[in-house]
Amino acid sequence: MQVHPLLAPVVDLVFPPRCPLCGEGLAAQSGLCSVCWGDLVIPGEPACATCQRPFADGIADESVCAVCLAAPPRHDGIAAGTLYNDASRRLVLAYKYGRRIALAPMLARLIAARLPDAVGPEWIFVPVPLHRWRLWHRGFNQSALLARELASARQAHLLVDGMVRRKRTPTLGGLGKTARARALTGAITLNPRRSAAIKGARIVLVDDVLTSGATSAACVSALKKGGASAVVIACFARVLDEALDTK
């Protein structure tokens, strides 16, 4: 939620700006302290030409990682604001489960910095959907709030209800590849009322965290089946432990 400039001094007086990670005083309600900024890991170059998985130094440009060579993905790239580590994990927990939705603009800015320059007003931003019961329990779709900020930053279209989650799925952590695929079978589909908007469109699929990629793969499959011409995945934090080991 953005604070109107005229109200900012009042808000700062009642709620003094503090770093959402360590509590250090800040000059404005817009980010982290310098130490906590340094704790975030931003994906860099060189990286896989297909999925943007960071490589160790010395890998040639336009190289493709072993994962993509073994199983070429259906998506058209991944834009991750950070790599998932302790600092980004705490931000996600505060945002999603601590209901600190005011973090959405900052998280979205980090994602936006990694989006391809080609993503512009003609693109459509679509969030990963929540099942209605989870949405009711949480009160908001964290991916939809990020998608709204990103669409606004790129002056692009936002389609909050482009997809629907038709069945509740268990937590995918700890499940094998086959079990994850089974849990997601038939769970995510296009919203029939939005099929015309999706057909032929270039889509940015927005999520907060990209872990195994099973959920995003199900979304990409649904979007491509509905005729989307391109689907780029955008997330705040991407789980790539092997990439962290090279930092």
Q: pLDDT at position 18, please?
A: 85
- Residue 8 in any domain: the answer is no
Query: Average pLDDT, stretch 90-101?
Result: 94
Q: How confident is the model at residue 193 (pLDDT cuts 50, 70, 90)?
A: very high
- Residue 9 in any domain: the answer is no
- Residue 31 in any domain: the answer is no
- Residue 98 in any domain: the answer is yes
- Residue 61 in any domain: the answer is yes
Domains in the chain, number: 1
Residues contacting 10, CB < 8 A, separation 6+: none
Which CATH number characterizes residue 130's domain?
A: 3.40.50.2020
DSSP string, 78-132: EEEEEE-SHHHHHHHHHHHTS--GGGHHHHHHHHHTTS-TT--TT-EEEEPPPPH
- Residue 214 in any domain: the answer is yes
Q: pLDDT at position 9, please?
A: 42
Q: pLDDT at position 31, please?
A: 85
- Residue 29 in any domain: the answer is no
Whether the model clears a pTM of 0.75, i.e. scores above it, the answer is: yes
d(CA 41, CA 52) in angstroms, rounded, equals 14
What's the first-to-final CA gap in the chain, in angstroms?
Answer: 33
Handedness of CA 140, 141, 143, 149 (dihedral sign): negative
pLDDT in tens, 166-179: 877 766 656 666 77
Q: Which domain holds residue 84?
A: 40-244
Q: pLDDT at position 17, please?
A: 80
DSSP string, 143-156: HHHHHHHHHHHTT-
- Residue 22 in any domain: the answer is no
Q: Which tokens is 55 given? A: 């490589």
Q: pLDDT at position 23, please?
A: 85
Q: Which tokens is 241 given? A: 């432990």
User: Each residue of 87-103: b (16+ CB within 10 Å) or e?
Assistant: bbebbbeebbeeeeebb
d(CA 208, CA 238) in angstroms, rounded, equals 9
Query: Average pLDDT, stretch 92-102?
Result: 93
Q: Do the beta carbons of residue 146 and residue 104 sit within 8 Å?
A: yes
